[in-house]
Every structure is written in structure tokens, then in C-alpha cells.
Amino acid sequence: MLTLPRPLDVPFTDTSAEALRLSLDHDRIAPLAARRIDVPTVAAPTDTESTLAEAAPALALTLTVIGSSHQAILSAGPTDAFIETFACLGEGGDDSSPKRPRWDREHIRHGRWAGFTEHRFTATRNHVSGDFPTAAAEVLAAGADRALTADDHLSVAFPGEPGALTALSLTCAETERIAWQSWHCYPQHGEIVHSSSELRRST
């Protein structure tokens, strides 16, 4: 179901798609808007000396808007197990520094995040030659269409720039795989960035 973006009374300050960086090491950033979604949990194995299994920590994915940027935060109970940051962060020289996205190429990283062991990320950068507000409206429709439910979609609009918006959608929530997508619209440059992310468990 298509819903109108939430209007925000804050200036549109992000620069351009060229300034976007990807990080899995950044701390939480105070969000302008957020949507928390419970996701399935793998049951803990039953102890051989007990008929009761210990309850696995509840998992939740929080999609947050931080300007024309986002964070996706996987929490296990009260603990943040994973944070994907796709934002204008600058860049440094070591391996933990935010990275420029490799446009149209999949970035894969392995680790341990609440039982998930693989993170996949792809971003595309598109130039809009026609009417930008129309292209942004198509972004909203795509985000709503790909979300699992209406409650799994978050979109916000910024004042002053027609078509300045950010949208996020949860597209898969299974015990072995969680996936989400984002759309970042830069009307001042006629650019729309679309990202696809997922966490997978080892098979």
C-alpha cells in the first residue's frame, strides 16, 4: 500500500551521491525517523539435560533516516549486533574506514552478527534527465511495492527541494536471511541512489 512520505521540518543538507560512503563500523547516529521491525529468530538448541531450550534473544531490524542517508541496525535483545551506515561520512586510509560504494557491483563482507555471517550490499546510481519529482514519486511506489507489508516501509520528504526524499523497505525477513532496500534522492544533482542489502546465515 502506497503511503505519503513523512514530511520533516529540517533542511536538506546532504551533498550528493558522490559523497556517500558505506560502513559497518560506525556507531548509531541520531535518526530523523525510524521504523523498528521484529524479525524471526532461530530457536536455541535444546539442552540434553533439559526439555526446555534457552530463549534466543529477540531480533529486531531498525531502519533509520539520517538526512538523505540511512542506517540499518540489527539488535539482539538490548544489544546492537550490526549497523550498516550508508551516508556522507568522509573517508580515511585504514580498512575500517568508510568506503566509497562500488556502483553496480556487489560488496560482500563476512563476520558474526547475531548468528548472521555474511553481509551483501549493492548500490546503483542513476541520473534523472526528466522531471525529478515524477521520478521521486516512482521511488515511493517502488519502495511500497517491494516492502513485505505497509508497516515495513519508511519514507520521509525534506522541505525546499521537490523530490528530496529518502525511502527504506524491508523486503525479506526469514530465519536465514534478512534483506532491505533504500532509495536516496538528490534533486539538486538529478541523482537517485538505490541500494540493496542482506544478511545471511552460513549454510
Burial of residue 87 (CB within 10 Å: 0-12, 13-18, 19+) is buried
Q: How far is CA 138 from CA 4, 45, 135, in A?
A: 12, 45, 5
Strand order in the sheet with 79-87: 21-23, 79-87, 70-76, 59-65, 33-39
Task: Encode pLDDT of 81-122 as tens digits.
Answer: 999 999 887 654 444 567 888 899 999 999 999 999 999 999
Residue with more model confidence, 44 or 59 = 59
Residue with more model confidence, 193 or 41 = 193
d(CA 75, CA 44): 17
d(CA 150, CA 24): 27
d(CA 66, CA 29): 7
- Tell me how many degrees the CA angle 125-126-129 measures, rounded to the nearest 5: 155
Cell output for 19: 559523497
- Report percent pLDDT > 90 for the chain: 46
> Does the pLDDT at position 155 exceed 90?
no
DSSP SS3 for 102? coil
DSSP state for residue 150 in the 8-state scheme: G
Task: Encode pLDDT of 142-152 as tens digits.
Answer: 888 888 887 89
> Does the pLDDT at position 59 exceed 50?
yes
DSSP SS3 for 198? strand
Task: Encode pLDDT of 119-133 as tens digits.
Answer: 999 999 999 988 999
In this structure, what are the phi and psi dihedrals at residue 163, rounded to the nearest 5 degrees? Answer: 90, 0
The dihedral formed by the CA atoms of 81, 85, 91 and 97, expressed in degrees to the nearest 10: 20
- Size of the chain in residues: 203
Cβ distance 88 to 57 under 8 Å? no
Task: Encode pLDDT of 156-190 as tens digits.
Answer: 888 877 888 889 999 999 999 999 999 999 988 89
* Domain range annotation of the chain: 6-42+58-89+98-200
> Does the pLDDT at position 7 exceed 60?
no
Helices (H), the chain: 132-146
